[in-house]
Structure 1
Amino acid sequence: MPSPVIALDNVTLTLMGNAGPVNILRDISLIVEPGETLGLVGPSGSGKSSLLMLMAGLEAATSGSISVLGEDLTAMRETALARFRRGNVGVVFQSFHLIPTMTAIENVATPLEIAGVRDAFGLAAMELDAVGLSSRHNHYPAQLSGGEQQRVALARAVVTRPRILFADEPTGNLDGATGDAIMRLLFELRDRRGATLVLVTHEPELARRCDRILRLRDGALEQYAEAAE
């Protein structure tokens, strides 16, 4: 039986607020299998995005252990975490996080250039073409619609061929039709790459497309394993 892609054991996240410590996540234990699509749902402030950030190595847990692709993230320093993410993890955010002074192709090529990959711009062009932006390579983010910016973000997330894709409300800033198109594209990219997908969403229809749904409330797992319809 293959090893889990992601394993969390009694993970907590506590941050300091003005009134003292705030418990963001409490005693989270879960396993994500290779190739699985996991939907994280729950009310605003329940800890969904924080849980995704922990699994992606973008936030440090207060206690507990986090293993991703067999590596103990809780034992890594920031430099090692950045190196690990570069080769294994792709992240798509609600607010795109594109670099405004770079063109679409420059945004997509950046992670490849950082990794020292040859022909970074050639590979970036292929990914932009794959998400339907063959005529937008040299446009800046301000010259693109919200849906086009999210397509650039998707291309950037998958250009390094990550084994895990994380998506945090990727349709939250888009209208219904555009959001549907982005989600179809995200699942197509997942299928084509054979990657594991962890998706944070408020939208029941998107969650139902996942293999499994985890519900959070007040920083705890409310329901451990709900099979998607």
Structure 2
Amino acid sequence: MFTGIIEEVGTVSRVQRSGSSSFIEIQAKKVLEDVHLGDSIAVNGVCLTVTHFGSGTFRADVMNETLSRSSLGSLTSGSPVNLERAMAAGGRFGGHIVSGHIDGTGTVSDISNDGIAVWYTISASPALLRYIVEKGSIAIDGISLTVAKVTDTAFSVSIIPHTAAQTILGSKKVGDIVNLENDIIGKYVEKLMKPADDTPKQSNITMDFLMKNGF
């Protein structure tokens, strides 16, 4: 579980793709301070498991499912990435509940300045936009952000200079792909509101109906 508060920007030092076996190696500092094998680290919002670490780097395996659902497949040596360790039980919950399980990707369609702030408009599919609400939360490349506006084809966020400086969002350009994770609460509510397939169906057969038809 993560909070969407990025701890540092790391750098991809190596990417290996070989059929169904892929891994990435990332240079980092802060997230390695107390790292252990098996720890979870969110890389651009994608929860990955540390399989190896050394002096200043860690490695994580990447499944085909992850590559197809996220933008990690486009990473190359030298790519900057947002990094966050799993939330500590005794830490401050500064963002929102982020699982690190990407729902899909969006495309930066517009960037505009508004005083000290910068507006980013992200185009996304209807399947993702249905869970995005104005003033709700969204994780973009693992960054916990507040949705400022939603349309039928896109949503917008406004970020402060600190967010731009401390994450890779400030380096994004129009046309870039970003990972999106919707607020998990909305997805659970939708699931619970749907009746299970084995839910007894409402019958229109009553005692009056049976009596009128000779039963």
TM-score (norm 1): 0.24
The structure with the largest helix share of the pair is 1
> Relative CO higher for 1 or 2, CA cutoff 8 Å, sep ≥ 6?
1
TM-score (norm 2): 0.26
The structure with the largest strand share of the pair is 2
